[in-house]
Structure 1
Amino acid sequence: MILTAAAQAASYIHFKDLGLDPVALDLGFFQLKWYSLAYIGGILIGWWYLLKLLDQPGAPMARRHADDMVFYATLGIILGGRLGYAIFYQPQLFLEPLKLLQLWEGGMSFHGGMIGVMLAILWLCRRNGLSWLRVHDYVACAVPFGLFFGRLANFVNGELWGRPTDVPWGIVFERTGVALPRHPSQLYEAGLEGLLLFAVLAFMFWKTDARYQPGKLVGTFILGYGLSRYFVEFFREHDVQFDGTIFATPGLHMGQLLTVPMILGGLYLIATAKKRRERVEPIAGGPSVA
């Protein structure tokens, strides 16, 4: 299959012909990259959507709490994402502190960022006497925006490409050094982790009583992300630093192994959500809801 795909590479889309540039704005002395805009856009749009959710009856926190949380969550995303990347993918970065701080060079872990955001939420809830699990439910509904924009930015950067393929929509990423069409796995992830997961959570929030069952929405989020990521990793090339290791084996990619606790945790939260249902006393957003 690979030999056939290589021979027919000229008939496939070549990434260089798409005219995509990782730099959105170049002023000479300053460059603004699409990857940075993805983070900014995901946080701002997610904040806006979170406020819409909090307008509904039985909200677990007020706007002032959401405003504070944006600051803490942003720190959690950046610090947790970078530290998570170093821990799970590039431990040698701890021996080069200056490189560890070079966020503009790329290298962020979703799992690390998720842990950072969870710690930020726990800190906010403890300080303000809020229900940490219900706050997680609401925040989870807003996270797919960031995942969607982040994966699109990965595609624009021409990074995290997929495995060689002969499917008609394969793309030749010249940065790989081999003229083979590959799965645009970044777009697969944008569709599953971003669009599909957002649609599922939006339906559950607006059309069901899921938000009155603490843990059900966040459980659905981490289960949905875990399953999506595990599936897409079969089409995604393993990270180059894992060449020659067990983590280069499909089914055992680092990204897949890190999703296993998410899948199990999501199933647990969903299965036990009804037991946690109780009269919801709102912090904002209208009257009590039984």
Structure 2
Amino acid sequence: MASKLKKIVLTGAAGRLGSYLREPLTALCDELVSTDIKEQPGKLYAGESYVQADLADFNAMNDVIEGADMVVHMGAYVDEAPFEELLGPNFVGSYNVWEAASRHGVRRVVYGSSIHAVGMYPKNEFINTEVAHRPDTFYGLAKCFTEDLGRMYWEKRGLESVHMRILSCAQVNNARALGSYLSYDDLIQLVTRCIETPVTGWAVIYGVSNNDRAPVDNTKASFLGYRPKDNAEIYAQEVLAAEPEMDPHDPNHMCHGGPFAGVELGKSGLAGMNVVDDSKEN
């Protein structure tokens, strides 16, 4: 990137992943507008402003995105839930972001997609970025919808987008995470590469660190220049010693989506995961 962007909009800024992205994003632009349905999370960084807004409100998204060069869209309801609860933030919200971005001439949307868009594939299948959608939940279905939405806006209106299928950006405290772990440092590198790559068109990339046991293949997304550095294998001995023997017939263990693959539709997937809220405090 030859020079700083004028304005980046970050949705989901009050979330756990958003808390780690806010400060690095201020280094890439003159103005970072952070937004979330929640109240402002702590003090602001230099060059950052905050707008409390609902993704499901088109006028609010249209206003906040005006003048932006790029949007980093991390906002969503981040769990499985009844379809009606996800419809506003995860489906309509994505449409509102893309439509507003298109109207205002935004160059690119960088989207926080998820492994749950393909979560029903068996773990012993090493899947690449071109496999067909195979969602494990309504939450995963929303990710499929947004990936397809992004492709349509690229092909019909020329709005670029990169869809980061994040596996598990959280502390490594279970056996699945030995393959799915994405460190916060690697997340920041991934988002930075998605912003700084000169041309992306429509693209998909898995958000995963350089794990020995990573179950996905990013070869076809190598043009983005993402080269993760962290490796969950350093936690393997401790984690595996604490894990009971796994059932290879249990979708919780056998599918890429982990607990989301085994849960009933509409029921929380996070309830079966020990995700630690270690949001960054500024």
TM over 0.5: no
Q: Which structure shows the higher helix fraction?
A: 1
TM-score normalised to the size of structure 1?
Answer: 0.30
Q: Which structure shows the higher strand fraction?
A: 2
